[in-house]
Amino acid sequence: MPRAPRAVPTWLAHPLRWQRLPVPWAAVVRGALCAGPLLAAGLATGHPAAGVLAGLGSMLAGVNDRPGTRRRGIVHIGLPALASAFGMLMGATLQTVGAGWWVVPALFAVGFVSGAGSVAGPVRSNAGMQMLASTILGAGMPLSGAPWLKALYLLAGCLWLLLLRLVFHPPRPAGGPLSGERAAVATVFDALADALDAVGGPGAEAARRRLTAALDRADEALRLRRLLRRRPSPGERLLAERLAAATALCEASVALLWEARPLPARVAEGPRRFAEALRTGRPPGRLSAPDTSSPARGAFDRALLDAAVVFARTEPVDAAGADGGPAVISGAVRPEERESEREPVLMAPRTRPVRSMFGPAGRDYGLRVGLCIAVSAAVALALRAEHWYWLPATATFLVKPDLGPLFSRTVNRFAGTVAGVLVFAAAGAVLAGWWWPALVAGAGGALLPFATRHFALQTVAITLMVLSFVHVSGDPQAALERIVDTSAACALVLVVGHLPRLADPRRRVGHKVTAALRATETYLGEVLRTEPGHDRGERLVRRRAAYRALGEARAAAETAAAELVAARGRNPDWLTVVTAAERIVDAATACAVRLDHGARRPTPQEARRLCEALTAMADALEDPGRPGPPALAAQIPPVPGCATLTDVAAELEHLRGFAGAA
């Protein structure tokens, strides 16, 4: 259904959006103890260049200092840190040759690689962006020292923040080394309870998306425990069993969401008790009496009882189970028990992003970033060769296509830079002595974790820190130049970033939507082909993969919806397509629960026709010029006498119109 017109266009209202997030006080403390003290230490010891580089490294690491487990922090901070150090090594090596027009093609190449990495996931995207930024700063900032030493100082600043993260962290629940992972799994049960409370209301689908996001975070947290490929400990296996129990509960809850009948408040009490048990280490207590009024409710209560059995244990079961049969928790086989079968499925997302970097979307992203950086560097060299680096560095944080709508980021970048320059100038007028830039850098570092809720505020924090570094490195009059350079960078990015080919949402969003539809078809096929009594572990894995791909597609579609694109009318409504695909997965989940409870199963021909229809829609989005798939997609097959597939066929028909319009 088309959305009602808004009084204010989305692209114009987006710059004013503000995320409501809790204040990460532990990260604020870490930020205050990073850039400022490191810069002060360099100044006090007579090594300002070392202080600037270490402070710069801690600032880049602070951008990635987000809530999560310690291992998640190590990965999300460590990988970009290594990329930043490598970028500084390249940039400092370029600086030894001297600034010249040859820098433009060099930065284009680095920018192309950085942009292509945007399709490989958020961690690789941040790593590429920081590698590009540090390359530009290393090539332009007048700092003494060998290239390898500069890279080492930058890496040391990143490692300092990682060390502080191990020391200053928020209070953890009971559980020792697994406390962070326990918290992540407890969040899944909390999100599940919230979703059950929302059943039958207007916020049901949004609650299901929050539940999916919580499952993604918990799954990532447990995966990171196995980075060294060692055998999991009993505590890890027990926690994996509890996450598997949560996954089975989530499948039944999606069926309840699909039925859209409000539930008694006591239904959500079970998941809340499990969440509290994970946080405190105490038993969950008594659960509500089972109810078999519908297949979905019966499946949920059965999964709830299975989860209670898991929580009653203090040790994981043997691989063969208590009775010598396969150890299955509501059909979800634990990872350690089907290593040879499940691991390829779990490993697939790790290899797919690398291949996609060389696909059409990766090439377009790389071309967009490389072209913007090259043009910015050329203009800067023509206008101000001695301080050329600020303009392309500003463009680096604007042009990345996966970090938000371009117009919104440009507006907020300009506003945040102006505000940061004014605050820095006021601090310089009031404060005196060698120490005041370190004080301002410390204030910016403390503000940075809080500033993640709005890009303009984040820009203020980064501007304060960078101006402190530039002031110490020998450019005390840089504040006014920064405003001029930022204005030029914003203008260049708006022009280059909105060129017809580079601004086409079909090329930037269509590949994610297509991947989501193909993951949906894989899950639908698994549901329709699974025989009664067959292990359901593979089905749960496929459902998680489908929801994960749909979450990535939704994020890309929301960004595209807020872009300033002149040819918007020639593109499909991506958000509506993603929503329809989400409803197909929801309907397939409800269908799976009914099939497990004895509903008539489709014949192989019926199952094949439904899956072919969904595949054809993905083909139509991937290649609009192909004549065959849209015609095939228009023939959504009926499934006579199989009421369990009525909802699936109806949602396929709902999606057909959008795929055909594409």
Secondary structure (3-state) at 74: helix
For residue 70, report the phi and psi dihedrals to the nearest 5 degrees: -65, -40
pLDDT reported for residue 387: 76
pLDDT of residue 96: 83
**Residue 461 contacts residue 412 (beta carbons within 8 Å):** no
**Burial classification of residue 420, based on how many CB atoms lie within 10 Å of its CB (0-12 exposed, 13-18 middle, 19 or more buried):** buried
Rounded Cα distance, 415 and 487, in Å: 10
Say how far apart CA 463 and CA 578 lie, in whole Å. Answer: 37
- pLDDT computed for residue 6 by the predictor: 54
User: What does the alpha-carbon distance between residue 357 and residue 229 come to, in Å, rounded to a whole number?
Assistant: 26
What is the model's pTM? 0.79
Give the number of other Cβ atoms within 10 Å of residue 167's Cβ.
Answer: 10
Contact assessment for residue 278 and residue 186, using Cβ atoms and an 8 Å cutoff: yes
Residues 157, 38 contacting (CB under 8 angstroms): yes
Q: Residue 581: CA atoms inside 13 Å, Cβ hemisphere, count?
A: 38
Task: Kindly state the tokens that stand for 572.
Answer: 């499909």
∠ CA(72), CA(75), CA(76), 5° rounding? 80
User: Which element (helix H / strand E) includes 329?
Assistant: strand 328-329
Longest alpha-carbon distance in the chain: 84
The residues that bridge with 332 in the sheet, in sequence order, are: 329
**So what's the pLDDT on residue 1?**
41
| Residue 644 burial (10 A CB sphere; 0-12, 13-18, 19+) | buried
Q: Residue 150's pLDDT is what?
A: 94
pLDDT along the chain (662 residues), means of 10: 57 77 84 92 91 93 82 85 94 81 89 83 85 91 89 94 78 61 90 92 89 89 69 82 90 86 88 90 80 80 89 71 36 37 35 58 81 89 80 84 78 89 89 87 91 87 90 73 82 77 68 86 84 70 89 85 64 79 86 80 79 80 53 50 64 63 47
Looking at residue 531, its pLDDT comes to 66
Q: Which of 318, 360, 252, 332 has the alpha carbon at shortest distance from 593?
A: 252
Position 82 scores a pLDDT of 93
Q: Which of the 8 DSSP states describes residue 203?
A: T
The pLDDT of residue 435 = 86
| Cα–Cα distance for residue pair 540/406, rounded to 1 Å | 37
φ, ψ dihedrals at 100, nearest 5°: -170, 175
Q: Which residues contact 384 (CB under 8 A, 6 or more apart)?
A: 481, 485
Q: 351 exposed, middle or buried (CB, 10 Å; 0-12, 13-18, 19+)?
A: exposed
